[in-house]
Amino acid sequence: MREFMQTFSPNIKNDTLSGLTVALALVPEAVAFAFVAGVHPLTGLYAAFMVGLITAVIGGRPGMISGAAGALAVVMVSLVAEAERNLGAGTGPQYLFAAVILMGAIQITAGALKLGKFIRIVPYPVMLGFVNGLAIVIFLAQLPQLQSFTPVGKWGWTEGDWLNGAALFIMLGLIATTMFITHYLPKLTKAIPSALAAILVVSLAAWGLQLDTKTVGDLANIAGGLPQFNVPAIPFTLDTLWFILPYSIIFAAIGLIESLLTVTVIDEMTGTRGRGNKECVAQGTANVVTGFFGGMGGCAMIGQSMINVSSGGRGRLSGIAAALFLLSFILFASPLIEQIPIAALVGVMFMVVIGTFEWSSFRILRKVPKHDAFVLVLVSAVTVVTDLAIAVVVGVIVAALVFAWEHAKHITARTREDEDRKVYDIIGPLFFGSVANFKDLFDPENDPARVYIDFKESRVADHSALEAIDTIAERYLAAGKELHLLHLSEECRGMLKKAGNLCDVNVIEDPKYRMALDELA
């Protein structure tokens, strides 16, 4: 409770107004993502409300906004479609709710096991690629708003032809006006979030001038009641578990990766530090609850989080306010919200794109190592083509392989030799990537009778390294030579038993580093 009060709101006015701005921007996003997933628009709105509220209250990153996210929606559509196709018409949403509940349980487990700390292994080029790729995805997600809508089914719609003539001119003009106000108003006053002011001004202008432009109401009717508790109507069998489990694992991975990376981005923007493991538990709890109340689940939303932070939202109140304003839209204010021009919200999101994209990455591409530049571009591209989770995993793997390849070339040896003794001073890490070069350093046939390998300036990192040491020991044994290993870690001894008495390992415990200390005579 004390931590909650400390992070509740450093500025109540800013948090409340920024929450209102975020809530307005959440409406078309949640509706659109619901359409993508193949479920009712209220399913997306309820998810945005519940996930946003719960994570704001108990999450590890005050000021971050969570809700129905596109990264999850593009995967959820596969589950809904497969259930509808194989398990009967109308079953898709029920299996989705069950999968979201299981997704939440997996995320809570990840937080309890403190797996959030592994976000630290994501290299900075991957972070830049993630931010740039997501900015491009947010931009591309706005382009369908420049098309006409064709109603499909009970609540869906599909994009039609591109707008042209007066309709396109009005749309672009309102977008430009929104962006102008959002950018320049803070230079005059910061009493009201510029994005909120832009939405209000453009909405009043469109209404006052009777402009024929698309509104939120053209997307869907967002009026509804309170979400109702409901256990998913599915058979509770092992077959059901095996059906939803792969999807739930994917949902959980995507949700946690996007949430933890967004935590990192907001940390850098605000100069504060969030708590990753606590956020994992909060995201999981939110998804369990939303699954029981008819929501499609969700995770952190970097676009809305950027709107919140840039509008002055820093405390938990901003996220709470956004969720409660969104609920009030559904319950009481849907006729008003449905009159907001789509152009105003698109303009706000375009400003988010400009603020999110790391333009400095163009400048540094020629200054950083080529492999880092490649990873940055690769992650950005994969984020756009596939999804965030795959992009981050690919980026981390490529960065790790490049790191291993580069460090594999760094192992060398200085040699010292007298009448009957030769010393190899190993320099550089010994691991799976460098074992081939390590083995080539030695000449058992031509070396003198006594050979010393000193690991004082090296580190033995993995099982491959231990096997390489054992191989060298066997080569000297076969050549009838004595081999002594100096400053070798204690963990290596078990791998060297085949060397018998010829491997002289005298272990002395070192309280700072577990090493064997054997001084030359």
CATH T-level topology, domain 409-504: Transcription Regulator spoIIAA (3.30.750)
pLDDT digits 0-9 by tens, 44-92: 999 999 999 999 999 999 999 999 887 788 788 889 989 988 888 889 8
**321 has pLDDT over 70:** yes
Confidence at residue 201, expressed as pLDDT on a 0 to 100 scale: 94
Cα–Cα distance list, 360 to 129, 184, 262, 357, 365 (Å): 12, 22, 19, 9, 9
Is 470:440 a contact under the CB 8 Å cutoff? no
Residue type, 13: K
Question: What average pLDDT does the segment 427-448 reach?
Answer: 89
Tokens 């509220």 locate to 53
What pLDDT score was predicted for residue 355? 85
Q: Which amino acid is at 180?
A: F
366 pLDDT tier (thresholds 50, 70, 90)? confident
What are 150's strand-pairing partners? 158
pLDDT mean over 465-470: 83
Residues 6+ apart with CB under 8 A from 449: 420, 421, 481, 482
Q: Report CA-CA distances (Å) from 395 to 98, 110, 348.
A: 31, 22, 30
pLDDT for res 442:
92
Domain ranges of the chain: 12-380, 409-504
Alpha carbons 269 and 318: distance in angstroms, whole number? 16
Greatest Cα pair distance in the chain: 100
- Angstrom distance (rounded) from CA 284 to CA 297: 10
Q: What is the mean pLDDT of residues 377-388?
A: 85
* Chain mean pLDDT for the chain: 85
- State residue 519's pLDDT score: 45
Look at residue 106 in the predicted model and tell me its pLDDT: 96
How many whole angstroms separate alpha carbon 73 and alpha carbon 296?
8
pLDDT one-digit tens code per residue, 208-230: 999 989 888 887 788 889 999 99
Most confident residue range from 36-40, 109-113, 486-490 = 109-113
182-209 per-position pLDDT tens digit = 999 988 888 888 889 999 999 999 999 9
Q: Using the predicted structure, report yes or no on whether residue 288 has a pLDDT greater than 50.
A: yes
Which range, 53-67, 117-131, 343-357, 358-372, has the best average confidence (pLDDT)? Answer: 53-67
- Please, what sign has the CA dihedral across residues 79, 85, 91, 92? positive
Locus of tokens 């080539």: 440
- CA angle 294/300/302 to nearest 5° reads 135
Sequence length of the chain is 521
Structure confidence at residue 518 (pLDDT)? 46
DSSP string, 162-215: EP-HHHHHHHHHHHHHHHHHHHHHHHH--SS-HHHHHHHHHHHHHHHTT----B
Q: What's at 518, amino acid-wise?
A: D
What pLDDT is attached to residue 2?
A: 67
State the sign of the Cα–Cα–Cα–Cα dihedral 410, 416, 420, 426.
negative
The pLDDT > 90 percentage for the chain reads 38
Whether residue 493 has pLDDT greater than 90: no
pTM for this entry: 0.77
Q: Write a three-state SS string for 58-115.
A: HCCCCCCCEECCHHHHHHHHHHHHHHHHHHCCCCHHHHHHHHHHHHHHHHHHHHHCCH
